[in-house]
Structure formats: C-alpha cells, structure tokens
C-alpha cells in the first residue's frame, strides 16, 4: 500500500499545521513531525516552512503534495467497492487550466458532463503555463486545457485542438485612448498592460510593442491570471487588458469596458486539451474531451 507519510504530508498541507494534521490523521503531533522530517530527509528538500502560525508549503513541497493528493485519491477510489467499480466514470477528474482566466470556457462542457455522469468529482486547477506542464507530466492533473502554444514543444504530450480564440484589447469606457482616432501601436506603448503571462501567446506580442520603441516592458506589465482582478485593474487605472473576443462582446462586459477596435495586434490563438502520451486516458477524460469537442464545434458559425 501507499507510504503512510503521504497521508501525513497531505494532512499538514490541508490543515495548515502539524497540530491540526495530528487531529485529522489521529496520531500524535510528535509522530507527524518525525514522519515529515524523515520524508524530507529522504527527498532531499523541505516540504514545509515552519512558522509560529503553522506550516507553509515550499515550491517543491507544493508540487509534491499535489502529486501525493492525487495518489491518495486514486487509491481511495480504487478501494471504494462495487458501486464505484460499476461506474467507470466515478471519482475525481483533475482538469488543469492555463491560464486560469480561461476557466469560464469550461462552464457548459462541465455542466453537460456532470449531467451524463453524476459520479464524477471535478477538481479544477488554474495555473501558469510552466507549472501546468509539470502537473500534467507528473500526473497531478488528468487533462489540461489552454493555449496550444503552451504544450506544442513537449513530445510526451498529446494535444487535441478544440477551438481558436481571438484576443482583443480592452480598456475602461472613459480611457484617454478612446479620444484618439485612429489608435496605433505606438499609442499603446504609453500605457501599462495586464496579461496572464509574459510569454506565449500574448506576452511576446506585448513585449514587442514596448521593445520596438526602446521601452523596458518589465516596468509596464502586470501578470495576472485571475480575470476578476484583471477587470478591476483595468476599471480603476489606464492599464490595457486582454480578453477573448467572444467574452468582450457580451452586454455585461460592454456596459463597463470598451474594446480597442482600431487595431488588433494578436493573431487567432489555437486552444487545445492535452493529455500524457504514455498513459491511456480514463473514461472520464475521454468523456470530457468529447464534451469539449461538442461544445466548441456547435459554437462554430
């Protein structure tokens, strides 16, 4: 069976302290402390930073705990008995989204999937491109959804194209840029940008806007995955945001923000679902891929 130290480390991460973990697991605090210390010595890195208020995960510890949690969940699902064994779709389905601001695109596919297979339990993990590929490759997520460019260079990952997203620029409705017509690339460089990544597919284009004019892009770029925060920054400053054209066209969005329609620096960006090449996807993953194809194909004109 699985090493019991995995259960201990996940309990500390979830409980936030060694004391709370001891209550969750039902062993002494000293037992938890020794167990974690032994595991850290074996791994060769610290999983937690000990503070007076509890235990905080290190970067390496976060990746380790995510993978340990997956192993424990899979073990529980495997041992749950005939009800779950009779439903091949039951159990956790871990879906990674990169960047996290694309999560809204999963609304209809997940609703449709749950209606067909109510035994599925969703775990949605939003993260950066760099971290998401690690989570996918080490098995911490079953399938990842995001920009194709984030996965294209990895030969051990299989990609399924699902749609193409057109990115547009938007600002608050009383932004000074809107008083100028036509708006050119050079005009954009006078303002900050908010983007989910400083890399592909939008980050490289935005960096070029600044660099072509001898401006240090690092002084003008906010990197934010959470779109609620993006909207708030744009609404309360002169920063320029990036949104999906489909979303930016909704009445809710138009009531507060305006698209910069004079110029479109972005080419259409393919979206894909990615899975590990060497592992056969479980039924819930195959069902999810089917729902994604159905949703986006039906949305095509």
Global pTM?
0.72
The confidence score (pLDDT) of residue 82 equals 40
Q: Does pLDDT of 83 surpass 90?
A: no
Class of residue 66 by CB neighbours under 10 A (exposed 0-12, middle 13-18, buried 19+): buried
Taking each helix axis from N to C end, the angle separating 107-116 and 283-299, rounded to the nearest 10 degrees, works out to 130
Distance of CA 237 to the CA centre of its chain: 26
- The more confidently predicted of residues 201 and 190 is 190
Based on the fold, state whether residues 101 and 248 are members of the same structural domain: no
- Residue 106 lies inside a defined structural domain of this protein: yes
User: Stretch 42-63: mean pLDDT, rounded?
Assistant: 90
260: left (phi over 0), alpha (psi -120 to 50) or beta: beta
Residue 267 to residue 165: CA distance in whole angstroms = 9
By residue range, what is the domain housing residue 50? 4-64
Neighbours of 193 (CB within 10 A): 25
Query: Do 8 and 34 share a domain, yes or no?
Result: yes
Considering only 34-48, 98-112, 128-142, which range has the smallest mean pLDDT? 128-142
* Exposed / middle / buried, residue 92 (Cβ in 10 Å: 0-12, 13-18, 19+): middle
Residue 80 lies in a domain: no
Whether 112 maps to a domain, the answer reads: yes
Identify the pLDDT of residue 87: 80
- Classify 218 as helix, strand or coil: helix
Q: Give a yes or no: residue 76 inside a domain.
A: no
Write down the pLDDT at residue 300.
54
Chain centre to alpha carbon of residue 279:
21
Q: What is the pLDDT of residue 198?
A: 65
Residue (of 192, 176, 177, 169) closest to 241 by Cα position: 169
Q: Please state whether the peptide bond connecting residue 182 to the residue before it is cis, i.e. omega within 30 degrees of 0.
A: yes
Q: What is the CATH number of the domain that holds 141?
A: 3.40.190.10
- Interval 203-215 mean pLDDT: 91
Q: Is the pLDDT confidence value at 144 over 80?
A: yes
Domain identity same for 255 and 274: no
Q: Report pLDDT for 288.
A: 96
- Percentage of the chain modeled with pLDDT above 90: 48
> Looking at the structure, do residues 150 and 204 belong to the same domain, yes or no?
no
Asked if residue 2 has pLDDT above 60, the reply is yes
**CATH code of 14's domain:** 1.10.10.10
What is the tally of helices (H) and strands (E) in the chain?
Answer: 13, 12
Nearest-angstrom CA–CA distance, 138 and 66:
10
User: How many structural domains comprise the chain?
Assistant: 3
| Residue 15: pLDDT over 90 | no
Q: How far apart are CA 196 and CA 224, in angstroms?
A: 5
Within a domain: 82: no
pLDDT of 279: 78
Q: What is the mean pLDDT of residues 84-97?
A: 81
One domain for residues 244 and 183: yes
Residues 122 and 262 in one domain: no
The model's confidence at residue 129, banded by pLDDT at 50, 70 and 90, is confident
pLDDT tens digits, residue range 247-282? 898 999 999 999 998 888 999 999 999 999 887 888
Looking at per-residue pLDDT, the higher value among 79 and 125 belongs to 125
Which pLDDT score, from 0 to 100, does residue 272 have?
95
């Amino acid at each position: 069976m699985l090493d019991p130290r995995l259960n201990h480390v996940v309990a500390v991460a979830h409980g936030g302290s060694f004391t709370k973990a001891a209550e969750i697991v039902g062993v002494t605090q000293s037992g938890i402390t020794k167990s974690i210390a032994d595991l850290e010595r074996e791994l060769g890195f610290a999983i937690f930073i000990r503070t007076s208020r509890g235990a905080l995960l290190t970067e390496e510890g976060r990746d380790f705990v995510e993978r340990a949690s997956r192993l424990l969940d899979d073990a529980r699902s495997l041992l749950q008995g005939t009800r779950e064994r009779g439903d091949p779709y039951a159990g956790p389905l871990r879906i990674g989204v990169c960047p996290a601001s694309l999560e809204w695109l999963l609304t209809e596919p997940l609703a449709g999937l749950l209606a067909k297979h109510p035994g599925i339990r969703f775990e949605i993990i939003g993260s950066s491109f760099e971290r998401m590929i690690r989570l996918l490759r080490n098995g911490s997520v079953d399938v990842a959804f995001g920009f194709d460019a984030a996965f294209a260079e990895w030969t051990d990952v299989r990609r399924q194209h699902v749609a193409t997203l057109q990115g547009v620029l938007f600002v608050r409705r009383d932004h000074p840029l809107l008083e100028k017509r036509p708006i050119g690339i050079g005009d954009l460089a006078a303002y900050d940008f908010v983007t989910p990544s400083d890399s592909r597919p939008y980050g490289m284009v935005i960096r070029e806007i600044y660099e072509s004019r001898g401006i240090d892009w690092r002084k003008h770029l906010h990197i934010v995955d959470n779109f609620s925060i993006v909207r708030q920054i744009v609404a309360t400053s002169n920063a320029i945001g990036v949104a999906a054209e489909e979303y930016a066209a909704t009445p809710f969005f138009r009531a507060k923000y305006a698209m910069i329609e004079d110029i479109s620096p972005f080419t259409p960006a393919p979206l894909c679902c990615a899975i590990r090449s060497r592992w056969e996807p479980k039924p819930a993953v195959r069902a999810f891929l089917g729902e994604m194809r159905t949703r986006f194909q039906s949305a095509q004109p």
